[in-house]
Structure 1
């Protein structure tokens, strides 16, 4: 099952969307069918209406139609202001003649309502596309369809613990997530991310003893340093002076022990920091998950496990 309503920005440059926004006749057809389209918000005027570029025309989204919750005050106006210069989704509500010019009247609120109806039909374990909208110490906020927001808690971004979601993601990044639960009464979904990044065995299979590879120091202890090789794989390196948490380092892989779910490492050197986090390597990008177990079969240590259930 795939979502019919994508995060904002995914439709903008498609041929179908561009054709539907190109002419008054095409916009009238979209109005008739209730099709969700996208355009770039040119500005927010003094009334907090959004003006949207549509081919040779400029559409208007009235303030109360800019987002779910604006009309009743449950959504703040920053949700309007922050869309300037960015793609916005909408349905076409009317084509009005104003001062001799044709002005499409649009509704982002209606597009979001349609998306939310679809979102609340999702099932636990469903893999969905998402786009990162902003980052807080406690989690990553994402657009899961037409600007409808959700959040992935920092503890569910990966198996390897991080100090802040910016260590893993960046704003505007297109990612995948899995539905952990659907709260239809509250009108929201709970998401997770780590289950898509592979099990211990899947990640360990990318490496072999004797390799020297880059990683990140995620935990500096008096008995050694935990170094992340992938978001779902870390190993313990011997103590080395001058290593701080968050440092990018090169490590020599001494051994890989599946039965104990351990990697023994040796820090070789510190490396220059990366400009942006590396994109996640996904082992799952579609379908519906039922159960996910991090530890390999026969491992003596318990590992993380997620049971997806409706």
Structure 2
């Protein structure tokens, strides 16, 4: 004389890998593993032992096969009903990684409350898979990014606990020359890694003092180069750099040396012309004769 929704007192009669059988009088009912607790990834043998008294709720009746489906967790309050009182954006929590997927990692922050760390919130550097950062069963500290009570969803962040951009202005300054690594080429320029989690852009117009048709003509991924910081904007997580700024002083020095070299060459040419000029020739082109030579010639005559 029971119906779905009835709450009964029972006793654990046996424990299996997929759940617990509970005796409720004339018959046993099964509490499937998913109905044992609001908590995820539990092991029945670690939670119960034979003979434990439990309170169960009838959630299914198969009269033909004389079977009962029971639930223990549904006799307890759904933790999501009061989660808004305990969890808000920017709260920090310590949880257990319950599952790792291609798109992120699920973290249980309390029994029955699970949140997702999207792959984009795992690391400031690009990763191929969440397994590169976290593993199932690992205890981690996270920060709450958003809570959706209606959909029973929580967005969590892992990389936000150590943001390299928060104090980037104390490590780098405008006009500073630094070593960077090219990580990605685009039509409009090259993205470079300054340090782990901090990337900057060298616009195509800043790649060289010469005209560049495409970034691949002068750079390649993985190449390490020296560049000059021309802008830092931590609020927008942006840094602009330049290679051409390093080339300009060298060109200016060459331009400054060129007039001096021309003057020296011009001076050498004038001296050579002077040395080749016939001696004792006047300005009018006539041969010039000294007084001594004139008197000597006159006496001989």
Same fold (TM over 0.5): no
If each structure's helix is expressed as a fraction of its own residues, which one has the higher value? 2
TM-score (norm 1): 0.41
Greater relative contact order: 1 or 2 (C-alpha under 8 angstroms, separation 6 or more)?
1
TM-score (norm 2): 0.42
**Larger Rg computed on CA atoms:** 2
